[in-house]
Structure 1
């Protein structure tokens, strides 16, 4: 018996997978064998800590770690110290471990988490410090995916606030550890790599903290103010790479310099791949790689083109803690390190600063003094700078600060010495600034700018007319009499005056077009009643009342009877809510359109709107339906000859609906708003191919549709046919006839021989 037991122990010791299987089936029966392997692991671990370079010891150590990780749930007391030992070994001796050992230890820690041997927090406390230290892209990708999936799983059913707070504290600490470094700038292509080793690691840690926070926000796992605070702190990090990644988060665009993103494939070099295909053997796999590279390059090119026009992360901007201090620190860093930052990075900071100022209506007056030096038409990326300038202005910005900026724009962009595109961009930029703060414009400058409405260039006269229309609405007194228009002139005669700077408008007394919604709902209700109750049986329902059940009446003794003559509050919802409720609720103008109402209607409208507004709780679907009804009413007014005012109103309503459908906000602009309408741009490759394919529709693969035989109706003749039918007097002086007269005998023989040969081939 002793011999058999010894033989069995030797076999199980040499075959760890078999022992693992047996232990999972009967843990108590094979506990002695497990203890033997655990003691063997302890001895190997001590040896491995002293000599980590020995390949044989490292291989045996990995086998034992894999074995213990599989059977650890069967012996929780005996393996209580096993997970901390793996974590301390990874964090303490990571640089001396071989790549295979690192990978094995990380995978076994994840396995222990999947078996609930360790908690998520214990696993994440080990994985987070490994991200900036690992050099293997495969292992780094695995760690990143593990972190994201573990946090997502923990918040799947409900928010795991305890885990989220702990992880957010770790990420905040990773960003904060490198905040004491000196900003070097990015003109020398990330000089942060020349820092001391500790600061370099802190920069990598901060980069990973910002990247993971962005991913969790993008996936909808984190959407609170603490997540925004982590990225907001990254906007002031001394490492420019971290700053850029954090700023791109608020701008809603992708960071082109993010090199730590292993999931994002880099843009392939198409010319190199095409040359490689010409000099190497043609294979099916190579062709597939080429097609995949072309698709990836087109996708990245499209993302790069749309990078400037991306939608800002408006929820994150709203969750900023103390936005005034945040904006002031942004401007302070921009002004202090102006000589160290490159132009692209300075423009990123300008964009973020302007959007924070515009969304929160902040005043950072030094920003306008700083941006003036960049307002020249030959400045690189001037359209983005003009967008930043316009977005920073709002109705609380002092006009005295913006007036010099407006004069600078007019001096640099609007004069005969520049092209029409520059003039249009300058007027459009002035218009966008004045739209947000109309009092920054002076009357003399405005009279000069509106004269460009006579220009022959479409972009210039469109920009000038839009400026005229803006001041017709906000302050027609600044325009000359011939530019005011009928409605503005009538308003001035009636005594209406624009509100001075700092004065708030009166409170809204109604919602424009609410009577249209009332009529629509009444019509729908009448149609539903007619369908449910035919006309011949409506009299049978007169005086019908619902009698409540006695049991219900006794149970609801706390209910209070409401007088039937009083206003009844109705929670209404349109029948189109299922289709339209997911759309953004449009901002309804609180001004009444006085031009489209007669005096009698103007007296009836307030009472009617007040009655509807106090007896109905409008839902998002009702607001969407109200906007649609207003558009329909405006379209009918245009068809019935409402004039230019009705057309402008219809265009405004349609533009607002487009913004609502795209979930955009009027606070922010894009480069197209500054450039204005332009001539048709040169078509790219995709547009050219689309045009070619469109021309090939209905045609054979190898054939032309120019011949007369393929047309039902007669078509024009070709140039060759026209030359045959020309009168002789018209061709006597042509080069062909004169050259034929001067031909030698040899040339005539050659032409005749060629004609004979061609005729033979034709036969």
Structure 2
């Protein structure tokens, strides 16, 4: 009998696997034979678990593939694999260990083993010194938990795994703890585990003694993506290096048009790749709001900050997180402000970020005496004439942002001194001082000198100066007095009458247009009906707020009214102007919808009004912009008739060099200084010889 007709199934596992999946009952004997073969090799493997066994490796994968076909015979198979990994995980051969993990993954995908047992085992396998295994298990854990919670949240499984991961993050193996933390961070970013328990488990990592775990947890709360930052940094460095190499290769090679076009295409591709990868910085505030006890967490983190020996970048991250928690939750960590004062020097590295953190941690519940000392330190170190204009502007911007959140902290004397810089020769200092002046005109004009309070406006009459801890709770919408009071019953009657009039239209007028007026079209910003007395305005605004459902158009008119209050004079004589002129002016006025939000932007501190020096790209863009409306550049005088004949001199420029070589070479060459010296020497020697 030839080899072609022989039965090769005992030695060809892939073929047997395919046949078993098609017809399990027919090939059950062959399967049992392979299963007994597996058990015998397993007993041998138990004696020497560190030795690689190719046969056992192939049999494990084969049995995992066909295990769903014989559930009764394979009932003990998953537990056997788990026992091997739990007992000998660290001493197993890498290939065998990976095969056992893949077999468990196959069994889990077929539903033959519970998720809890497999995932907890995989977390323990993070302790193995196998990077490829850890990466594979990390991807599978994230995808499996995602699939389990795809349709509805599996609270029981999530709670069990979260408790287990809480213990894993305290593991003595730093790699296992870091991988467990990465799993939780990834699940939170994918909105799978975005509950308060996950966030509070991650908070424990902020007190880890392992720097990588500490930095990963801090970056999570600060809204940074560690992996994305590393990728972007490596891509940016690689892009800069590639650009440099391309320019260098083009410089040393021969200059041709083909090589120039190739260089331009390569540079354009690099620029496009950088622009595609560049993303705006985003923050996730939900994690900061889900912390159970932010006051206790901030105090512990600040205590760790005072005693830590980490590098300066890690300290900055801890300062940033404490300031965000303090500002968002309005906490009281009074020792934080004197700690930050030590770094507020113009020569300090990352001083603008430190000023940002100091302003971020301020709010109106902090005692003004604590913030006053901070403001005085900034004023003494930054806002002095011995510093440059940019340093002074940065200091004034920082003081302004702090005073926005805690206006009572700035004393009258210091405020009046800072406002004097409104006439400074440096534009950045002048603009920063004027922004400070405008702030206190709205918040507390009495702190300013009488000449700096400006013209009395309607808005100034409504300012209520708050004391420490006092709140201005309004039961109406400011500016709503510009709207008219409406009754719901009359509105319904108007709507019914409108529909009746539309239905009574005769058929002969079907070709005509019917204008249906909306309530928003009838209402215009007419301030002639607005009361002049502030108490009357409040009363009318209260009536409008309580009797109307405001629309977006109504809010737009309210914003315009509030903006107009800052420009309109409080003098009654000024209100007797032309109504059309006032209406047109108020329509042009737009309210300032910018909101500071929960966090400050670094541009608020670094906004120095100075004309920046142009780089090469911006200069080139300016040059090309100026060349749009002019003709093509040409050397010398252009001909009035482009078809006219040319001179011999012009024709000579377009000829081949070999055609005019004889003329060029025969021209009288200009002699060098050395040639003139030799000629003069020979001439003098010849004269002396002739005299003899």
User: TM class by shorter-chain length?
Assistant: 0.7 to 0.9
The answer (yes or no) to whether the contact 2:392–2:429 under 8 Å persists in 1 is yes
CA–CA separation in structure 1 for the residues paired with 2:424 and 2:264: 54
Shift of 1:27: 2.4
Provide the residue aligned with 1:388 in structure 2. Answer: 357
The answer (yes or no) to whether the contact 2:530–2:537 under 8 Å persists in 1 is no
Gaps of 5+ in 2: 254-258, 507-518, 521-526, 569-579, 641-666, 671-692
Provide the residue aligned with 1:662 in structure 2. Answer: none
1:174 partnered with 2:168: yes
1:599 partnered with 2:596: no
The answer (yes or no) to whether the contact 2:462–2:534 under 8 Å persists in 1 is no
CA–CA separation in structure 2 for the residues paired with 1:526 and 1:632: 30
Provide the residue aligned with 1:48 in structure 2. Answer: 45
1:68 partnered with 2:57: no
1:425 partnered with 2:394: yes
- The alignment partner of 1:599 has SS state of coil
CA–CA separation in structure 1 for the residues paired with 2:286 and 2:463: 38
CA–CA separation in structure 1 for the residues paired with 2:36 and 2:50: 22
CA–CA separation in structure 2 for the residues paired with 1:17 and 1:208: 35
Q: 1:652 to 1:77 in 2, by over 3 A?
A: same
CA–CA separation in structure 2 for the residues paired with 1:235 and 1:485: 50
Q: 1:50 to 1:694 in 2, by over 3 A?
A: farther
Q: How does 1:643-722 map to 2 (within 5 A)?
A: 650=590, 652-653=592-593, 655-656=594-595, 666-682=597-613, 704=633
CA–CA separation in structure 1 for the residues paired with 2:590 and 2:283: 27
User: What do residues 535-589 of structure 1 show as CA deviations (whole Å, max 9, x unaligned)?
Assistant: 58289xxxxxxxxxxxxxxxxxxxxxxxxxxxxxxxxxx99xxxxxxxxxxxxxx
Provide the residue aligned with 1:443 in structure 2. Answer: 412
Shift of 1:468: 1.2
Shift of 1:496: 6.9
Shift of 1:40: 0.9
CA–CA separation in structure 2 for the residues paired with 1:687 and 1:132: 53
1:144 partnered with 2:138: yes
Provide the residue aligned with 1:230 in structure 2. Answer: 201
Gaps of 5+ in 1: 178-198, 540-573, 576-593, 657-664, 712-747, 752-763
Q: How does 1:326-345 map to 2 (within 5 A)?
A: 326-337=297-308, 340-345=309-314
CA–CA separation in structure 2 for the residues paired with 1:151 and 1:536: 60
What number of residue pairs does the alignment pair up?
603
User: What do residues 484-514 of structure 1 show as CA deviations (whole Å, max 9, x unaligned)?
Assistant: 11237995xx797622212222443345438
Q: How does 1:138-537 map to 2 (within 5 A)?
A: 139-177=133-171, 199=172, 201=173, 203-255=174-226, 268-270=237-239, 273=242, 302=278, 310-337=281-308, 340-487=309-456, 498-510=465-477, 512-513=479-480, 516=483, 533-534=500-501, 537=504
CA–CA separation in structure 2 for the residues paired with 1:385 and 1:267: 26
Shift of 1:353: 0.3
Q: 1:215 to 1:522 in 2, by over 3 A?
A: farther
Q: Paired residue for 1:86, among 78, 81, 84?
A: 81
CA–CA separation in structure 1 for the residues paired with 2:462 and 2:564: 30
Provide the residue aligned with 1:191 in structure 2. Answer: none
Q: How does 1:733-748 map to 2 (within 5 A)?
A: none
The answer (yes or no) to whether the contact 1:132–1:208 under 8 Å persists in 2 is no
- The alignment partner of 1:92 has SS state of helix
The answer (yes or no) to whether the contact 2:119–2:141 under 8 Å persists in 1 is yes
The answer (yes or no) to whether the contact 2:481–2:537 under 8 Å persists in 1 is no
Q: TM-score when scaled to structure 1?
A: 0.68
The answer (yes or no) to whether the contact 1:476–1:488 under 8 Å persists in 2 is no
- The alignment partner of 1:502 has SS state of coil
CA–CA separation in structure 1 for the residues paired with 2:182 and 2:630: 52
Higher gyration radius (CA): 2
Provide the residue aligned with 2:543 in structure 1. Answer: 610
Q: 1:169 to 1:505 in 2, by over 3 A?
A: same
Q: 1:605 to 1:473 in 2, by over 3 A?
A: closer
CA–CA separation in structure 1 for the residues paired with 2:588 and 2:391: 26
- The alignment partner of 2:169 has SS state of helix
Shift of 1:454: 0.3
The answer (yes or no) to whether the contact 1:473–1:488 under 8 Å persists in 2 is no
CA–CA separation in structure 1 for the residues paired with 2:627 and 2:135: 47
CA–CA separation in structure 2 for the residues paired with 1:274 and 1:96: 47
The answer (yes or no) to whether the contact 1:394–1:437 under 8 Å persists in 2 is yes
CA–CA separation in structure 2 for the residues paired with 1:47 and 1:687: 74
The answer (yes or no) to whether the contact 2:485–2:544 under 8 Å persists in 1 is no
Q: Paired residue for 1:22, among 5, 19, 22?
A: 19
Q: TM-score when scaled to structure 2?
A: 0.75
The answer (yes or no) to whether the contact 2:563–2:592 under 8 Å persists in 1 is no
Shift of 1:699: 10
CA–CA separation in structure 2 for the residues paired with 1:374 and 1:455: 27
CA–CA separation in structure 1 for the residues paired with 2:306 and 2:69: 63
Provide the residue aligned with 2:99 in structure 1. Answer: 104
- The alignment partner of 1:152 has SS state of helix
CA–CA separation in structure 1 for the residues paired with 2:615 and 2:499: 58
Shift of 1:66: 1.3
User: What do residues 715-742 of structure 1 show as CA deviations (whole Å, max 9, x unaligned)?
Assistant: xxxxxxxxxxxxxxxxxxxxxxxxxxxx
Shift of 1:116: 1.3
The answer (yes or no) to whether the contact 2:363–2:405 under 8 Å persists in 1 is yes
Q: What's the RMSD between the two structures over aligned residues?
A: 4.6
User: What do residues 666-701 of structure 1 show as CA deviations (whole Å, max 9, x unaligned)?
Assistant: 23112110122432445567767766776787999x
1:127 partnered with 2:122: yes
Provide the residue aligned with 1:38 in structure 2. Answer: 35
The answer (yes or no) to whether the contact 2:428–2:608 under 8 Å persists in 1 is yes
Shift of 1:628: 3.6
CA–CA separation in structure 2 for the residues paired with 1:686 and 1:128: 51
Q: 1:595 to 1:530 in 2, by over 3 A?
A: closer
Provide the residue aligned with 1:118 in structure 2. Answer: 113
Q: 1:64 to 1:749 in 2, by over 3 A?
A: closer
Provide the residue aligned with 1:566 in structure 2. Answer: none
- The alignment partner of 1:221 has SS state of coil
- Of 624-633 and 211-220, deviating more is 624-633
CA–CA separation in structure 2 for the residues paired with 1:104 and 1:705: 74
The answer (yes or no) to whether the contact 2:205–2:217 under 8 Å persists in 1 is yes
- The alignment partner of 2:10 has SS state of helix
Shift of 1:483: 0.4
